[in-house]
Amino acid sequence: MINIVVVSHSAQLARGVEELARQMMRGDGCKLALAAGIDDAEQPIGTDALKVMAAIESVSDGTGILVLMDLGSALLSAETALELLAPELAAKVVLCSAPLVEGTLAAVVAANSGGGLEQVLAEAQGALQIKQVQLGEGKPAATALELPLTAGKSLSWKIQNPHGLHARPAARLAEVLAPFDAELVLENHGQCASPLSLNQLALLQIHQGDTIRLIANGPQADAALAAFKALAEQHFGETVTEQQQPSLHGMPVVESVSSGPIWQALSFWPQMNLRKVGAGDVLHEQQRLRIALQRTLSDLNKLAERTATLVGKVQAAIFGAHSILLDDPDLQQAAYTRIAQEHCSAEQAWQRELEQVAAGYRALDDEYLQAREQDVRDILRRTLSHLQQQPIPPLILRAPSILVMDELMPSDVVMLDRRMVLGICLSGGSALSHAAILAKAMGIPMVVGMHGCMSKTRSGQKARLDAARGVLQLSH
């Protein structure tokens, strides 16, 4: 067990930190002691090394003790206390430079979940990063988890808590999942984190309406998923009433409020000019398809490079996955065989093969994998555009506007000029699609599933997009 000591110049401040921390603690996973203020009624602000020593001794039964401090002289008092302690006890103590409030909360959650001293220290020291990332002053740590594509079982849950998975329910989740012998990953809009870390959970920015997915692999994976389901059905320890659940017009992807004119557009698909294919045209059609696939692969490589530059290598992997699918020799051979056997055009053969792949994704039970069907159609559209020699036109907004469309492909999103896009409203789509994931990474407010947004809006119309609630308010 790792115990925590809070050293502060102000007893009132320390009690406030303790009050917050106690809300994160359940059971006896760790102990929390305070050493705050000095015994002077007229000048109570200060720190006392003897108080710090006594606080450490009061939690000496822990295998490790983490000490967090507020101001510089608190560090001096803590260092003096270490010199006064018995050597065997002082050896178990680590002084931590983390911010007092954020660091204490993160440390308490990690300790209460059974983390070791090194893990608790790392959680405390990483606590400030949450606020920095949310304010745009930093980037998530390079150690962020990658989404497992094959291993493990998973369970999805749509968050109904009015304030999302904030600190208190996140701490409850970490505590419940900590005992299980399983590798655990929590996914939200394609971003992944350890559900045992309060810091990583906060960086996922899980809001009401988000669909999260717990992926578990290992001896106790089933038990972990069952515990997750039971906790989720209890709304992670919070009370959720029907009155607290707003009636959304769409599913939010990125929270923000923006106002401006609407710019409406329809998703592009090449016009199909099909012709009959004779036996003598088979080789020609196969060659047409081969060239189109090569050009599509080249496009995907360029999209990956652009994404890596604009957003990051993690998001660029989306188009790397597109390339892997496109370059599948079995898939390509199936299309070439279809051309030869059915005497159909390259367009027809490739479309039928990819539609089968997309249908396979749609038939899956997992919502995240269902959303991958859009990636297949994005590849299909690009290949057909090369076959028909109809380049995909970029979406160019002439002024900052709210983009309203029926559908937006991942390759469309990454080509947008972020400065011109105040927000995105789609009549269809999925919050788990790669288009949504890219929009979130680019910081573009987005709402999907806003039925009727195409028929009830017009270009140039003034509007206000409250993406946090999934509402588009129109002016008359």
From the candidates 189, 249, 322, 434, give the one annotated as an active-site residue.
Answer: 434
DSSP, residue by residue, 174-242: HHHHTTSSSEEEEEETTEEE-TT-HHHHHHT---TT-EEEEEEESTTHHHHHHHHHHHHHTGGG----G
- Respond yes or no: is residue 235 known to be catalytic: no
> Taking a C-beta distance cutoff of 8 angstroms, is the pair 458, 264 a contact?
yes
C-alpha–C-alpha distance, residues 210 and 165, integer Å: 10
pLDDT tens column, 108-157: 888 887 888 998 898 888 877 766 766 666 555 444 455 454 457 889 99
Q: Give the model's pLDDT for residue 135.
A: 63
C-alpha–C-alpha distance, residues 23 and 171, integer Å: 9
Q: Domains in the chain, ordered, with CATH?
A: 2-134 (3.40.50.510), 153-244 (3.30.1340.10), 251-267+393-474 (3.50.30.10), 279-387 (1.10.274.10)
pLDDT tens column, 228-287: 998 888 888 887 764 443 333 455 555 577 889 999 999 999 988 777 788 889 999 999
CA angle 117, 61, 128 (to 5 degrees): 30
pLDDT top residue among 131 and 302: 302
C-alpha–C-alpha distance, residues 110 and 124, integer Å: 9
C-alpha–C-alpha distance, residues 259 and 261, integer Å: 7
pLDDT tens column, 151-173: 578 899 989 888 888 878 888 88
- Respond yes or no: is residue 9 known to be catalytic: yes
Position 472 confidence tier, pLDDT thresholds 50, 70, 90 = confident
From the candidates 9, 189, 235, 322, give the one annotated as an active-site residue.
Answer: 9
C-alpha–C-alpha distance, residues 82 and 75, integer Å: 11
pLDDT > 90 fraction of the chain, expressed in percent and rounded = 46
C-alpha–C-alpha distance, residues 33 and 78, integer Å: 13
Residue 385, both tokens: 């555009």
Residue 421, both tokens: 């896009």
Q: DSSP 3-state assignment of 410?
A: helix
- Respond yes or no: is residue 476 known to be catalytic: no
Reduced 3-state DSSP string for 287-353: HHHHHHHHHHHHHHHHHHHHHHHHCCHHHHHHHHHHHHHHCCHHHHHHHHHHHHHHCCCHHHHHHHH
Residue 71, both tokens: 């101001």
